Structure 1
Amino acid sequence: MAKILNVQNLKKSYNSGSKKLTVLQDINFSVEEKESFAIVGPSGSGKTTLLGLCAGLDQSESGTIELCGSNLSSLSEDQRAILRNEKVGFVFQNFQLLPTLTALENVAVPLELRGEKNAMKISMELLEKVGLSDRHDHYPSQLSGGEQQRVALARAFSNKPSILFADEPTGNLDEETGKKVIELLLNLNKESGTTLVIVTHDVELARKTQRILKLKGGKILEMQSVNNG
């Protein structure tokens, strides 16, 4: 299997007043194509920072990240944006839907940015897959949290990403709704053959992936393979 994400000797610090705060150091791991991979750890362990670096949303201080065959540090901001638009999907804890657009229009945004002629048709099919075709004309404020996250899932898969990054996808949902969203995410992921990288506090969710990377204090504590039968 080819590596879709390869992280070597990664370090990230922030200036906090007069101090330098190291958030991540000595981070080395890789993720293979079509693998499902979880990043877990306590609050403040650097999980979300690591996800942002891997997705090219932020830049590291030192070390290299190769994503979909490109070395992120050698790309300009515009080139990284193009790579994300073409190859990467995102699901966030707070849904990140555009409040002035309907569910259908939210899903269609990445497709329209790419100049897809059948954006609305494809978006409607995706809403059908997440069980929301009957709510296509509703705005985010008219949808429950679980419904908003399902719209976000449909949008994340709309550009047929090679890799999907999910940051605490069930963080704002109750347990039952969270379980449904996870089932949907894993099913869509399997169906489309996407690589999945999830940041989560949820141990049960992490155990549904193939490998778990545990972070503590900005360092890798352990890497664990999961046997899902």
Structure 2
Amino acid sequence: MAKILSIQNLKKSYKSGSKDLTVLEDISFEIEEKETFAIIGPSGSGKTTLLGLCAGLDQPDSGSIELCGTFINDLNEDERALLRNQNVGFVFQDFQLIPTLTALENVAVPLELRGDKNATKIGMELLTKVGLGDRFDHYPTQLSGGEQQRVAVARAFSNRPAILFADEPTGNLDEETGQKVIDLLMELNQDAGTTLVIVTHDLELARKTQKILRLKGGRILETLKV
């Protein structure tokens, strides 16, 4: 299988007062197309920073990132945004739905912005798939946390991404609701043939993926095949 993400010798640090704080050091790994991959580690181990770098939301100090066949280090911000728009989906811990849009609009609007004439139809199909066929016209405040996350999952798959990044997707949900969202994420992922990269501190969730990368103190502790 072809690789969809290749990370080589990644380093990232931030200014903390007068000091440089190294968040990630010498990170290298590869992910293949259609693979499910978990990044785990304690708080402060650099998981979310790594996810942001992989998706081109931030730039490393050194090292290379190849995403969907493109070295994104060389791209400017607009070029990286275009690459994400065409190839990448996101699910965040805090849902990030637009409060003034209905569930259907939250899923369809990104497609409309891309000029997709079938945006509403695709949005309805995806919301039905995630069990929200009767919630099209509900606003985020009228939905439970689990329902909001399901809208976010539907939106993430709306542009048929080659790779989907999920940052603590169950972090704000109770255990039972979180389990349902994960099952859904895995099921949709399999249907769509998308590569799935999950950042989590939940070992149970990580074990549902094919490969686990364990971070500690900004370095790779181990990579496990599940």
Q: Do the structures match in fold with TM over 0.5?
A: yes
Aligned residues between the structures? 226
Q: Indicate if the aligned counterparts of 1:85 and 1:110 stay in contact, CA closer than 8 A.
A: no
- Summarize the alignment of residues 22-61 of structure 1 with structure 2, pairs less than 5 Å apart: 22-61=22-61
- By how many angstroms is 1:113 displaced? 1.7
Equivalent runs, 1:1-229 vs 2, <5 Å? 1-226=1-226
Post-superposition Cα deviations, 1:185-218, rounded to whole Å, max 9, x if no partner, equal 0000000000000000110000000000000000
Instruction: Give CA deviations for 1:109-155 in whole Å, capped at 9, x if unaligned.
Output: 22112100010011000000000010010000000000000000000
CA distance in 2, matches of 1:188, 1:152: 13
Name the SS of the counterpart of 1:221 in structure 2.
Answer: strand
User: Which SS does the other structure have where 1:220 is aligned?
Assistant: strand
Secondary structure of the 2:11 match is: strand
Unaligned runs of 5+ in 2: none
TM-score (norm 1): 0.98
Partner Cα distance (2:128, 2:163) in 1: 22
**Letter of the structure 2 residue corresponding to residue 178 of structure 1:** G
8 Å contact kept, 1:2–1:32: yes
Moved over 2 A (4+): none
Q: Distance in 2 between matches of 1:123 and 1:82?
A: 21
C-alpha RMSD of the superposition: 0.4
Point out where structure 1 has 5 or more consecutive residues left out of the alignment: none
The code of the aligned residue for 1:134 comes to: D
Same amino acid, percent of matched pairs: 78
Once the two structures are superposed, residues 153-172 of structure 1 have per-residue CA deviations (whole angstroms, 9 ceiling, x without a partner) of 00000000000000000000
**What is the TM-score when the length of structure 2 is the normalising length?**
0.99
Q: Supply the distance in 2 between the matched residues of 1:84 and 1:103 (Cα, whole angstroms).
A: 22
